[in-house]
Chains A and B, each alone.
Chain A
Amino acid sequence: MDLTVNIKTQQDNSILGVISGEIDAHTAPKLREQLLAIDTKSTNKAVLDLAGVGYMDSTGIGVIVAFYKSVIADGGELTLIGLSPRLKRLFDITGLSGIIHVEEEA
């Protein structure tokens, strides 16, 4: 399945990235490229909406972690929203929900 990434700057200068599709070894490079293009210096809040993400493997986690590191290095914070129970479990098991703010889908 294909991956689509839609990145917008919100009115409050925060960044919202809406991702849908599967994040695996095939699609992760594309996501990485798009997230790296975000200027994390000009914002202090980034939100990634993962409601449309049905599957993420460890390569996908790697991309999110790299983005998280770049956001906090510039003094910002990262929130992930719309996680399916399966994705929430993945972030819990990996201990990442302890350092990245995650919200399950409503």
Chain B
Amino acid sequence: MLLSQYLKYQTERNLYLGQNFSRHLVQKNITPEEVISIHKVALEEIQELGMTDTMIISLDFLTEFMIQYGLALREHKILVEQQESMNHEIELAAKVQNTMLRTKKPELDGVDIDFLSVPAGKMNGDYVYFQDDDSDFVGIGVADVVGKGIPAALCMSMVKNGLDTLGQASISPAYALDVLNRIVEKSVEDNMFISMFYGRYDNEESVFTYASAGHEPALYYCAREEKFYDLDESKGLLLGILPDVHYMESSIKLAKNDMIIIMTDGVTECRTENERFLSRQELIDMIYNVKDETPGDLAHSVFKALEKFQAFHQRDDFTLAVIKKVQ
């Protein structure tokens, strides 16, 4: 009926009716080859067309072709369904990650500590951990697991459990990394590793002690000189590469308004649309511009500035943690 109408009057309305009908067929899971055979039967019924045998046979030929398209279509439908269920699972995993690895910032008189961690995808490959008890010490670990997604998140819970087991804020950063390295090395594949910066602040003495396992150097801001320095004196190997590694630690005394800024490579490896890397000086300038903000605001402001720098296309997980001596 639709076809004979259209053959007589090629109006927009008749074409529109055809479109509606095809949508209906898609909904009913009618395959392309079935559509052609419906078309064929319709043509045969309209006698005034005088269909020749050759034309009819050519439609059979076309039907054979369409069978492959029909199979591809079914495959596509199954894939879409599978993807939906996988997305659902990833969302559940991300929720578990958020609950299990939730980080609470520590409260300590005289020092303001805050952080911001924004994943590029659904799951975060960066992790911030605070070791906080009733003592005058506070420990802070910033880790970046190679890769992203679920394997990274599973690796992260290993770091959390390790640090939970160590349990004391006064623990030596180098010792903490020694222990974590042993745990990680035993449990990861050859191409997995974690970079980690671990620092401990002694509030009584105003001394910050740190060790690094292959992590981006933290920045030290000296308020008196209004200058930034890289904390790169204690470099060590990434976690998970060799079984027995002994890390070194260094210390620095903080004065009022001095800051320690710990970040991951989502900050330092920022690139513009034209593949130009953020220079260390540009990063320092960004931080300098907002140095008088509270640590929480500072981290947000730097994130906003970096979003702009990379034209709002965040490629890697972003993490920035700030420790500021306020008294």
CB-contact partner of B214 in A55, A63, A94, under 8 A: A94
Report yes or no: B235 in contact with A62, Cβ–Cβ below 8 A. no
CA distance A93 to B148 in the complex (A): 21
A25 within 8 A of B: yes
Main secondary structure of the interface of B (DSSP, over half): loop
Main secondary structure of the interface of A (DSSP, over half): helix
Report yes or no: A65 in contact with B213, Cβ–Cβ below 8 A. no
Which residues of A come within 8 Å of B, CB atoms? 25, 32, 55, 57-59, 61-63, 65-66, 69-70, 86, 92-96, 98-99
Report yes or no: A65 in contact with B190, Cβ–Cβ below 8 A. yes
| Chain B 136-150 near chain A by CB (<8 Å), digits 1 or 0 | 000000001011100
Report yes or no: B235 in contact with A92, Cβ–Cβ below 8 A. yes
Report yes or no: A93 in contact with B235, Cβ–Cβ below 8 A. yes
Report yes or no: B147 in contact with A58, Cβ–Cβ below 8 A. yes
Given A59-B146, A59-B147, A86-B277, verify A95-B191 contact (CB < 8 Å): no
CB-contact partner of B191 in A62, A86, A93, under 8 A: A62
Report yes or no: A62 in contact with B195, Cβ–Cβ below 8 A. no
CB-contact partner of A58 in B146, B235, B277, under 8 A: B146
Q: For A59, list chain B residues within 8 Å (CB).
A: 146-147
Given A25-B147, A62-B192, A66-B191, verify A57-B235 contact (CB < 8 Å): no
Given A57-B269, A58-B265, verify A93-B241 contact (CB < 8 Å): no
Report yes or no: B144 in contact with A95, Cβ–Cβ below 8 A. no
Report yes or no: B237 in contact with A99, Cβ–Cβ below 8 A. yes
| Chain B 194-229 near chain A by CB (<8 Å), digits 1 or 0 | 010000000000000000011111000000000000
CA distance A32 to B215 in the complex (A): 23
In the complex, besides A57-B316, A96-B241, 6 extra interface pairs with C-beta distance below 8 angstroms are A25-B148, A57-B269, A65-B191, A95-B238, A99-B241, A99-B242
Name the distance in Å between B116's Cβ and chain A's nearest Cβ. 20
Pairs of residues from A and B, 4 with the lowest C-beta to C-beta distance, nearest first: A95-B237, A94-B214, A62-B191, A66-B191
B245: nearest residue on chain A (CB-CB)?
A95
Report yes or no: B147 in contact with A96, Cβ–Cβ below 8 A. no
Q: For B146, list chain A residues within 8 Å (CB).
A: 58-59, 61-62
CA distance A61 to B146 in the complex (A): 9
A-B contact pairs, 19 of them (CB 8 A): A25-B148, A57-B269, A57-B316, A58-B146, A61-B146, A61-B193, A61-B238, A62-B146, A65-B238, A66-B190, A70-B190, A86-B277, A93-B216, A93-B232, A94-B238, A95-B213, A95-B238, A96-B237, A96-B241
Report yes or no: B265 in contact with A32, Cβ–Cβ below 8 A. no
CA distance A95 to B211 in the complex (A): 12
Given A92-B235, A93-B217, verify A63-B191 contact (CB < 8 Å): yes
B241: nearest residue on chain A (CB-CB)?
A65
Given A95-B238, A99-B242, verify A58-B190 contact (CB < 8 Å): no
| Chain B 236-273 near chain A by CB (<8 Å), digits 1 or 0 | 11100110000000000000000000000100010000
Name the distance in Å between A24's Cβ and chain B's nearest Cβ. 9
Name the distance in Å between B70's Cβ and chain A's nearest Cβ. 32
